[in-house]
Chain A
């Protein structure tokens, strides 16, 4: 019976090493083909027409002029007359043509008329939203350490009041984080080839195995007639799990026109339709004891998830540090925007930004070192096992930041001209358990090894992880493993979301690899005359641990397979697995400089300490953390969806207007992977999401430490910083 475990650290030859991404060269020389890049013979270009209004009914739609544009092949409506449209940019029609130019001209020739309806997009202004009838109670929760004595009707209020009265310090604050978009650099879409009753869809997707059925049903096909192919995806971040209605239309158009059709969204329609993250705004009141340990929390947050989208989940308020007494309440603000989609670590970045800022404000109010307050509040971390991990991670981060030497009380640092600097920290948690995954491993008689998984590589290094796992299993170098993913005809693997992929594919490829190895060992054992249990595979050889003279090279061992390759299929995670686990944490510390005269914030240094169980590939794991920190800098300092309160127009839906950090904006980034034996022993845990959670709170806290005031709403633009400073000057 094969035991599915990882080798000990000392026995591992490649597991946990640092490897280049297998597909790095293809990406860096432009030969990697994305859905956008696939140009089958005779491909037609399709582009969508977005509604210019944010809330309206479609009154008339005249496509005739568009159809007459030279080079336009077909025009299709995507809405019926009388349909209600709930956000600007919702797709109304599609134009198909021979060239980009012809299609653009066709789009401009579409004539539509709308009956305007009431527009509301201001998610921050709760009173205005209430006045506009755009709010709904989304529930809440109360948890109190004390029970009411008997039937005490006003107990909840009275108990909270008592706790706040008892508290050594109370902070009442307002915090917020604006909505942002996914901004995948490859927009959503597909290149569809319908031929002989079958569909080949080159779809930009995080869900290769899960999407054929979604294509099939509108085409009156079954999923077996559909192949979804995605070798490379130009960004997803949670927004590319489904076959979108424009993808289905591309498939239908290919069927109808008898030619391949490429339908990728234009940038502005991508931003308007391709996914956004809900905003969050909160009134928070917290009380702490004399040590700064939070004893009581009372919050009301409101959030907009777009038309029909979900709001910021109440479960992340408060975040990680959860005092014994709390009350939370959520209001949904309904705005005219496209429904939100999962955005890297759904809910957590907002929860962290809205609540760990409040905790830092307790430190500021009490004149305490933020580090000490966070450390003392680890008693409020629900999972007792994780408290010690956070404590260790905090120590490491503080050392890397040189926190104690740099720390000054809030607003009390030295000034260099108009520049002040500050420190801030935050901590986070995430699941990251393995998703279901299957794998097929093929060992050829000549020694070649192939793996097949219907998975996808978002750029995290999934291919390379699979190769490392199988290389470790077979005692081969990483480059000896040929990894095939990105095709729905391969064995099913789950969607890449929730940081579930690395666990999922590590599980399935390790298990299948071990099964295959066992079959190979049987043959080698009889050839060498040793028990199969004594065999090991390492450094390109299979040898007996009892008698190392008894050995075969990998190639010679494989030749024992005879004429046919050995094919072994296997499944991934099952309950009780020792290969993977769930639940990680991390600590981040930011150092910023703020120009008090211009409100410009610059990142000076940013430290992340992150655990993730067992590390498979150190190089790509570090890159995930660096990338998450930079995405965090993006939403902390730069990006937000700006909407016209009057018309509901998405104002900054082009890259020129949607601010994101550039290479010169990141400062010094320091990444430390926390992997003591206790963590490594937990097995593989996903990491793509967790390090993107803390940056908002950590950077906001650093700015608060620099300025001595809280700039409440992220991103911390010069306008927001200056407006806050002005407010402070006025009240002083």
Chain B
């Protein structure tokens, strides 16, 4: 059994080197992710009632009036009139309100707007229809009523960022957080594969 001292000197503690290396690196990275980007104005004071916050949406800073209970989805839809993300479920179980925050897919209806200050937020409105994921969706007719589609497009965008060479099997395993009632899944699978083949990750 290695000791903490040996570990500190780079000797393998657990049975594999990856354990030590990975954990250390990831620890630093995750600590950083939460650290910077917080607006200096935000002290850890207790906030109540209407407050103006600044949200970084699609590369622009927007001032929005919110209450502590305002969700990011409400702030986007009512504050910024960005209605691409949809209210479908009371929680995140439909994926319909998916946006990308800090590079990661989140259900904006289960995130408080206050939590998003200082974090870059990308909504479906930042995408154009003539390239990437939306284009592939149009080409494969991967929308019907279209109400779930923006959430799906954002989930696929985030998914492909992580898995740019996704296989069909990975796609079938990896995109189950979004719900479609009209049944566009059979069109979405080839649309995602098209983006992979096209080399673009949306």
Contacts and interface: CB of A to CB of B under 8 A. Distances in A.
Interface in B109-149: 123-125, 127-130, 133-135, 137-139, 141-149
B55 to A, nearest CB: 16
Contacts of A184: 145, 181
A183 interface: yes
A39 B80 CA distance: 10
Given A25-B138, A267-B88, A663 B188 contact: yes
Contacts of B153: 28-30
Interface stretch (A217-225, A486-494, A583-591, A625-633): A625-633
B147 A235 contact: yes
Nearest to A620: B141
A669 B186 contact: yes
A503 B187 CA distance: 24
A654 interface: yes
* Residue from B87, B96, B123, B127 with most neighbouring chain A CB atoms (10 Å): B87
Given A29-B129, A623-B187, A99 B74 contact: yes
Given A24-B129, A30-B84, A33-B83, A185 B145 contact: yes
B134 A25 contact: yes
B99 to A, nearest CB: 10
A36 B176 contact: no
Contacts, number: 196
B175 interface: yes
Given A28-B137, A185-B86, A232 B184 contact: no
Given A101-B70, A627-B183, A664 B172 contact: yes
Interface in A220-265: 232-237, 264
B141 A28 contact: no
A185 B183 contact: no
Given A30-B124, A656-B89, A629 B147 contact: no
Contact of A27 (B69, B143, B187): B143
Interface in B131-182: 133-135, 137-139, 141-150, 153, 171-173, 175-176, 178-182
B184 A27 contact: no
A666 B171 CA distance: 12
Nearest to B186: A626
Interface string A534-562: 00000000000000000000000000000
A232 B145 CA distance: 7
A655 B179 contact: yes
A237 B147 CA distance: 14
B149 A99 contact: no
Given A20-B139, A31-B84, A235 B69 contact: no
Contact of B83 (A24, A30, A664): A30
A102 B137 CA distance: 37
Contacts of B173: 664
Nearest to B81: A39
Interface in A18-48: 20-21, 23-34, 36-37, 39
B85 interface: yes
A461 B187 CA distance: 15
Interface residues of B, number: 62
A26 B141 CA distance: 12
A276 to B, nearest CB: 14
Interface string B50-73: 000000000000000001011100
Interface residues of A, number: 60
Given A25-B138, A185-B88, A660 B179 contact: yes
B83 A39 contact: yes
Interface in B86-113: 86-91, 93-94, 96
Contact of A30 (B93, B125, B183): B125
Contacts of B130: 25
B20 interface: no
Given A99-B78, A664-B172, A664-B173, A20 B141 contact: yes
Contact of A654 (B93, B125, B143, B175): B93
A34 B85 CA distance: 12
A575 interface: no
A663 B85 CA distance: 20
* Residue from B148, B180, B183 with most neighbouring chain A CB atoms (10 Å): B183
A31 B125 contact: yes
Contacts of B133: 28
A266 interface: yes
Nearest to B177: A662
* Residue from B94, B124, B145 with most neighbouring chain A CB atoms (10 Å): B145
Given A21-B141, A21-B143, A28-B134, A36 B67 contact: no
A720 B89 CA distance: 27
B32 to A, nearest CB: 31
A627 B184 contact: yes
A629 B187 CA distance: 12
B172 A185 contact: no
B189 interface: yes
A232 B135 CA distance: 19
Contacts of B147: 34, 185-186, 232, 234-235
B181 A235 contact: yes
A459 B143 contact: yes
A460 B124 contact: no
A29 B202 CA distance: 12
Contact of A37 (B77, B134, B175, B184): B77
Contacts of B179: 185, 655, 660, 662
Contacts of A237: 181
A662 B184 contact: no
A430 to B, nearest CB: 17
A458 interface: yes
A699 B74 CA distance: 41
A100 B74 contact: yes
Contacts of A460: 144
B138 A21 contact: yes
A670 to B, nearest CB: 10
A619 interface: yes
Contacts of B74: 99-101
A458 B189 CA distance: 22
Interface string A337-356: 00000000000000000000
Given A27-B149, A459-B182, A630-B186, A36 B141 contact: no
17 contacts: A25-B134, A26-B146, A27-B146, A29-B127, A32-B146, A34-B86, A39-B77, A39-B78, A183-B181, A185-B148, A185-B180, A234-B147, A459-B145, A626-B186, A654-B89, A656-B89, A663-B180
Given A37-B83, A234-B147, A655-B93, 11 more contacts: A27-B150, A29-B134, A185-B96, A233-B145, A459-B144, A460-B144, A626-B183, A654-B91, A660-B179, A663-B178, A663-B185
Interface of A: 20-21, 23-34, 36-37, 39, 99-101, 183-186, 232-237, 264, 266-268, 458-461, 619-620, 622-624, 626-631, 634, 654-656, 660-664, 666, 669
* Pairs of residues from A and B, 4 with the lowest C-beta to C-beta distance, nearest first: A30-B84, A630-B183, A25-B129, A234-B147
